[in-house]
């Protein structure tokens, strides 16, 4: 019978603790391996075979350890191995502390003598184990040090292995690069083998200096998680013995939540010169043409889309379907957050009734250059159009005297339209379809309903949108 059988979902695993003297050698305290079967009888047979293989592997490892101590202790009552000594140790301690001692003095003295011998044996074996552990740990550290001398690997050298193991998307790679840059800004480029616990504490202090960093605890936690993920890969690749940094902290302290734009803030946005006949006099933040910025904000207001989803649209993504003017958000155009983010959204009648928008759409949808970016001055840079759009909006936001900070970014358009749809008694499924929320998004339930373009358009047309100045 295999006593190390474990079931996860429908698949059986072998799960077995690593002997304590081999933990420093293997760098882990437990072995868990899929048996690749859902049949219990087959799993038992494979578990027994895996048990034998592990026993042989561990015996070979022990034989290679340079032990010099005699870990078998002999006394008046014969040999004790480590297991017997520890069991006798526990029994002796219990007997010695008992109030029910034998009245016969001779028997009591023999009992005490045996207790002392057993305790001595157990202590000797523990010392041998500790010595073995220390040598194994020292050998591992020496091996790592030798590898480090060849190239002194740092966090950046772990990235290729992290990518190979996890196949992260481009946005995840970008977040990791940002986290590494912050780590190096705080501590410099430190070889992995030189990292110590105090470096982790210093990096946490650096991340939590919100005034200097410009982001909150949640973003700080995301950066810390990226560094932890890299160090875990470094441990798996034997570049370090173990992850020495503790980057954990409470991300919820003082956390504020995003909300929708207020009526006063919407008046500041759409009463700005950008939405007037003086549009061309507006500053070209990030070298973005005011016309691109104006169209961007109007579409964000009327769709609740993410700023990157709109900024990366191509001319071909503006279409007429079943008599409705629509935009198609797809992974083909750029980055999307989830599978649900790929969607088609109809443009509300309120937006199409704007003469300036009507003329802008006519120029974009004239059939020429279909693969060109719709927002041409936000594209064609090293960074993506979404990043450029964010930086442009930061400039606009400051000029419009809107609140600054991460909680007052373009995402507030999404919150505004979700709130407006809810106030108009539009169901969550329709709101999710419009804004591209994940299946278990705002309401926490799974939805398999297909929402038609007509239903979405009716919902968008029920909303009361803020007045756009044309003065």
CA dihedral 337, 339, 342, 348 (to 10 degrees): -80
Q: What is the pLDDT at residue 120?
A: 55
Lowest mean pLDDT among 5-14, 195-204, 346-355, 406-415: 5-14
- Asked if 361 contacts 317 with a C-beta cutoff of 8 angstroms, the reply is no
Residue 104 has pLDDT above 70, yes or no: no
The pLDDT assigned to 437 comes to 80
Cα–Cα distance for residue pair 199/466, rounded to 1 Å? 50
> For the chain, percent helix, then strand, then coil, each to nearest 5?
55, 10, 35
State the CB neighbour count (10 A cutoff) for residue 363.
Answer: 11
pLDDT over threshold 70, residue 102: no
What confidence score (pLDDT) does residue 382 get?
A: 82
Where helices occur in 280-367 by DSSP H, the ranges are: 290-303, 307-311, 349-352, 355-364
Residue 215: pLDDT band (50, 70, 90) is confident
Round the average pLDDT of the chain to a whole number and report it.
81
In terms of C-beta density within 10 A (0-12 exposed, 13-18 middle, 19 or more buried), how is residue 122 classed?
A: buried
Question: Could you give the CA distance from residue 82 to residue 59 in angstroms, rounded to a whole number?
Answer: 16
Looking at residue 129, what is its pLDDT? 53
pLDDT band at 147 (very low <50, low <70, confident <90, very high): very low
Averaged pLDDT, 408-416: 93
The mean per-residue pLDDT over the stretch 148-165 comes to 82
Q: DSSP assignment of 228-263, as one string?
A: HHHHHHHHHTTSSSS--------S-TT-----PPPH
Cα–Cα distances in Å, from 99 out to 19, 96, 232? Answer: 36, 8, 51
Q: What is the pLDDT of residue 66?
A: 60
pLDDT value at residue 203: 94
Closest CA to 301 of 360, 335, 336, 351: 351
Q: What is the pLDDT of residue 82?
A: 43
Q: Summarize pLDDT for 263-285 with one digit per residue, the tens.
A: 999 999 999 999 999 999 999 99
Checking if the pLDDT of 307 tops 80, the result is: yes
pLDDT of the residue at 78: 42
Highest-confidence range of 61-70, 234-243, 269-278, by mean pLDDT? 269-278
- Examine the pLDDT at 19 and tell me if it is beyond 90: no
| 158, 162, 163, 165: CA torsion to nearest 10 | 140
Residue 410 to residue 417: CA distance in whole angstroms: 12
Mean pLDDT of 384-410: 92
Residues 68-91 as b/e (b if ≥16 CB within 10 A, e otherwise) read: eeebebeeeeeebebebbbebbee
pLDDT one-digit tens code per residue, 326-374 = 999 998 888 887 777 899 999 999 999 999 999 999 999 999 999 999 9
Assess whether pLDDT exceeds 70 at residue 254: no
Q: What is the structure's pLDDT at 381?
A: 87
Provide the pLDDT for residue 113. 53
| Mean pLDDT in residue range 206-230 | 90
Helix axis angle, 170-187 to 197-207, nearest 10°? 110
Q: How far apart are CA 361 and CA 373, in angstroms?
A: 13
CA 308 to chain centre: 20
pLDDT band of 109, cuts 50, 70, 90:
low
pLDDT at 122 over 60: no
- Which tokens belong to 428? 């969550």
The mean per-residue pLDDT over the stretch 105-126 comes to: 51
- The rounded percent of the chain whose pLDDT value lies above 90 is 49
Q: What is the pLDDT of residue 471?
A: 61
């Amino acid at each position: 019978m295999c006593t190390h059988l474990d079931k996860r979902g429908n698949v059986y695993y072998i799960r077995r603790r690593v002997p304590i003297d081999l933990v420093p050698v293997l760098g882990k305290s437990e072995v868990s391996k899929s048996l690749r079967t859902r049949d219990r009888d087959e799993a038992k047979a494979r578990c027994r075979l895996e048990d034998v293989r592990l026993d042989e592997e561990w015996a070979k490892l022990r034989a290679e350890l340079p032990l010099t101590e005699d870990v078998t202790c002999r006394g008046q009552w014969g040999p004790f191995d480590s297991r017997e000594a520890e069991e006798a140790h526990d029994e002796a301690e219990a007997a010695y502390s008992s109030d029910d001692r034998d009245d016969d003095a001779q028997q009591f003295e023999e009992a005490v003598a045996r207790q002392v011998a057993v305790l001595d044996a157990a202590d000797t074996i523990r010392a041998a184990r500790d010595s073995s552990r220390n040598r194994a740990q020292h050998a591992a550290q020496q091996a790592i040090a030798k590898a480090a001398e060849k190239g002194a690997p740092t966090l950046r050298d772990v990235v290729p292995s992290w990518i190979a193991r996890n196949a992260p998307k481009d946005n995840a790679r970008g977040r990791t690069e940002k986290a590494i840059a912050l780590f190096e800004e705080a501590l410099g480029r430190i070889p992995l083998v030189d990292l110590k616990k105090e470096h982790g504490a210093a990096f946490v202090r650096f991340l939590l200096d919100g005034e200097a960093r410009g982001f909150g605890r949640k973003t700080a936690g995301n950066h810390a998680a990226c560094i932890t993920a890299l160090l875990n890969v470094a441990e798996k690749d034997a570049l370090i013995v173990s992850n020495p940094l503790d980057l954990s902290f409470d991300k919820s302290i003082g956390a504020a939540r995003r909300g929708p734009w207020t009526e006063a803030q919407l008046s500041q946005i759409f009463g700005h010169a950008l939405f007037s006949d003086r549009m061309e006099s507006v500053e070209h933040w990030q070298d973005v043409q005011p016309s691109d910025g104006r169209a961007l904000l109007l579409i964000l207001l009327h769709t609740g889309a993410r700023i990157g989803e709109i900024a990366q649209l191509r001319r071909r993504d503006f279409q007429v379907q079943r008599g409705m003017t629509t935009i198609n958000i797809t992974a083909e155009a750029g980055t999307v957050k989830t599978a649900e983010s790929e969607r088609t959204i109809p443009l509300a009648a309120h937006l199409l009734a704007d003469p300036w928008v009507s003329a802008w759409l006519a120029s974009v949808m004239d059939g020429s250059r279909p693969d060109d970016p719709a927002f041409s001055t936000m594209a064609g840079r090293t960074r993506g159009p979404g990043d450029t759009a964010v930086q442009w909006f930061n400039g606009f936001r400051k000029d419009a005297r809107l609140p600054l900070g991460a909680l007052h970014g373009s995402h507030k358009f999404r919150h505004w339209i979700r709130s407006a749809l809810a106030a108009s008694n539009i169901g969550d499924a329709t709101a999710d379809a419009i804004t591209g929320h994940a299946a278990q998004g705002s309401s926490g339930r799974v939805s398999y309903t297909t929402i038609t373009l007509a239903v979405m358009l009716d919902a968008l047309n029920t909303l009361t949108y803020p007045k756009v100045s044309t003065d």
